[in-house]
Structure 1
Amino acid sequence: MKVSRIHHVAIICSNYEVSKKFYTEILGFSIIKETFRDARNSYKLDLRVGENDQIELFSFPQPPQRVSNPEACGLRHLSFEVDNVEKSVRYLKSKGVEVEDIRIDEITDKRFTFFKDPDDLPLEIYEN
């Protein structure tokens, strides 16, 4: 098997409208397609991230809580590449998003920091 790239990342949210607004209006991801699935009483929102990347945002009635601390077993966090971490932090803070202090990756010497989506999913911005 040869994997060519990651096709998408799927996220389940607890409040569809709040998360849709966060990912489209605050993070600026564009909508590819929005689908309501009657059989599941659920939305599926396909979002464009950058040129080729996608996030699938799902809503389900009463989804179970999941541990989201970065050191919990499983998916650690989702990282987005940005041109300027400081500028991105100022923008996120202007939108009311709490952002951790900027750190330096000791291996790459690149700047990065973390923030959370409306469901406390840890997100990272990493300077290119």
Structure 2
Amino acid sequence: MASDRRPGDAGEADRPDPVELGVQLLERLEHAELSLAELMDRIETVSTQPATTRAIIEEAEKRGIIERDGDAVKPSSGRFLTFESEVVERPGDYECERCGKPLSVGHFIRLEAGELGPFGSSCIETVTGRRD
């Protein structure tokens, strides 16, 4: 599972802001609606720290990126990731950030705040909302 410290970080100054990274990820989800548990699954690719995950959700709500109705969450931006430019594949020896499986090709999400990944081919579709 992910934490606020990303693999390969050189130092504090080089780390992306996990809250901004999480908000930008939520802004690009293709789901029409998710449960709160499904939303947490996506956020945990950025951070598993309770304070950070709470800050991501609160900031996304404040900016109008998501709307919560009980356990239902609706992304509202309508902006989706472009797989050719914002989701890139890189060969290498990786472990999926979502499921932990070993990978020979990693899928990485490029956002303004930083990069998320690596993910396997199935997990990248789940994280982005192209598949449940």
**What TM-score, normalized to structure 2?**
0.35
Larger radius of gyration: 1
Give the number of the structure whose residues are more often helix, by fraction: 2
